[in-house]
Amino acid sequence: MSEFLRSRKRLISILAPTLFGIFYMFLVMFNLQQSVWQGESYGAYLTRYDAGQIWQFASDSNQPPLYFWALKLWAHCFGRTDFAMRFMSAFCGAIALMFAYMWTKYKYGSKAAILGSLLLSFSPILVRYGREMQPFMMALMFVFAAMYFLQLAIDNGQKRWWLVYALMVALGLWTSYYTVFAFLAQGVYLCLVYGRTLFRRKTFWLSFAAALLLFVPWLPSLLGQLAQRPTASAGISLATLTDFWSQSLIYQNSVNLTAGALLLTLAASVVLVVLAVRYRLGLRLLLCNILVPLAVLLLLSLTPWGLSLLPQRIIYSSASIALLGGIATVIATNELSLRLAKRRRKTPPALWRRPRFVFASCAVVLVATSLCGLCILQDYGNYNFDTGKRYSAKLLAQSIASAEGTDRAPIIVESPWLYYDLSFYDTPEQQSFFLGQNLDAKDGLLSPLRQAYFGRIDHLDKFLAQHEAVWYVGAIPAKGGDISFPLAGYTASQVLTLSYEHDGHQYEAIRFVPE
């Protein structure tokens, strides 16, 4: 295999990252058309506004705006379907994988890049969040791009690479605040590489100043968000860390693992920990990517400003675990081959000491774990991991649209959160609306609805005077009974048996007509 790689080195360096990116997008393409949920539909709703309004709404919702701008541009180019808009995350994940391949090849060689990228391409957690219309994969793309350009800057010392690195840092911060922990990890890595001389290097300060300068326009919004953030500690326990590890490896909480999945997870954990400890000096950047964000979040959880530990928010740590497994396996195999070559043993070593056995056993365990995770992922489909609930807004919208005798009556949604979901599936023939009086005046995520110039009903009687019938989607009373229409003089003419569970409430769609 080594001879094959050497003879076709240039061709492989071009084809391999492209093929891995295509393979990753192929895996992600399944389930892209499942129903959107509130975390996704909020971002899709923002794309209806212009860039300045998106800036304002992102500021109100404690998020940076770059992802929403990119999503708006993507939707303008490729359409507003669930498949098209979700595919942006798949595309960003493929670009991130290509940067991971280039960084690994540059630092560890082609074999490590191939195995590491293979494990990364079907890492279950990367496949899962490549299917979601949220900024996680875009943030991963900038973090891995920053890794690559940082390595070039360290090795070549040229200002241009330090400035490109600063640009990637700034873009990452404009995409997700959680990338700050990845860049902090890269700062720790720089300290390990340069030691005390780091702070005497002009290129480092030039890069730092450039990244800060690029982020300055958003600083007032960030400071305002920090001032309004509630002081609620989000404790991180041993169970939280265990779940993070098991989700990263096999996309399942540790307490829910079956016997087979548990054995695979334990075997992969042993392989990763042993290799990481043995070759820690050569894997410092990846280990920093994994350990520094976890350590910082753990410390923050002890303060009133604690942040929760969710794998998707620090997805670069989960991705680094997969990449570390591939790289460390190749390093261990190469070291063993060199050791045997120096000894020039006439008798072959025991099976477990042979390089091919080490490579095959480690690779098989890691690949099998990822494949098991993909099976678990396929069984779950696209759903909210925090609640374990599937969302069916798309099915509800389709059921209303196809209900006999509706004449495309408008849909009035009681909950503004559910409106975000249903409005994604609006058509020119049938639109969703929400009641303006149901808006929470304090929740920043509802800011787009408070200033909405479409879909909002402030005077229900005037609105109903223009329509012979309407669909009303409301919460079923906790004590049972029928859903009541918010205005007297209307009676139910058609009830959909399909119910929709959202935000802890059960919703039902009923067609109302005047009495």
Listed by start position, the domains of the chain span: 17-33+81-380, 393-514
pLDDT digits (tens, 9 = 90+) for 1-21: 556 556 566 676 778 888 888
How does pLDDT run across 28-58, given as a tens digit for each residue?
Answer: 888 777 888 778 888 898 998 889 889 988 8
**Alpha-carbon gap, residue 36 to 42, rounded angstroms:** 10
Query: pLDDT tens across 402-411, in order?
Result: 876 656 788 8
Residues 393 and 420: their CA atoms lie apart, in Å, by 10
Tokens of 359: 């490579």
* Pairwise CA distance, residues 42 & 445, whole Å: 8
Does 78 have pLDDT greater than 80?
Answer: yes
Residue-level pLDDT at 110: 84
Average pLDDT of the chain?
83
Quote the CA–CA distance of 224 and 205 in Å, as a whole number: 27
Rounded CA gap, 218 and 223, in Å? 9
End-to-end CA distance of the chain: 79
- Whether residue 74 is predicted with pLDDT greater than 90 in this model: the reply is yes
For the cut 90, the answer to whether the pLDDT of residue 422 exceeds it is no
Report pTM.
Answer: 0.90
Q: Are 405 and 156 in contact (CB under 8 A)?
A: no
The answer to whether 59 touches 225, Cβ cutoff 8 Å, is yes
Rounded to the nearest 5 degrees, what angle is found at the Cα of 383, between the Cα atoms of 381 and 389? 120
Question: 160: burial class by Cβ within 10 Å (0-12, 13-18, 19+)?
Answer: exposed
The rounded distance, in Å, linking the Cα atoms of 502 and 505 is 5
Tell me how crowded residue 371 is: count the other CB atoms within 10 A of its CB.
Answer: 14
- 471 pLDDT more than 80: yes
Strands 505-514 and 470-475 turn out to be antiparallel
Comparing CA positions, the residue from 437, 360, 464, 445 lying closest to residue 41 is 445
Model confidence at 354: pLDDT above 70: no
**Cα separation of 283 and 289, whole Å?**
10
**Dihedral angle sign, alpha carbons of residues 459, 487, 496, 482:** positive
Confidence check: pLDDT of 231 > 60: no
Do 293 and 241 contact (CB within 8 A), yes or no?
no
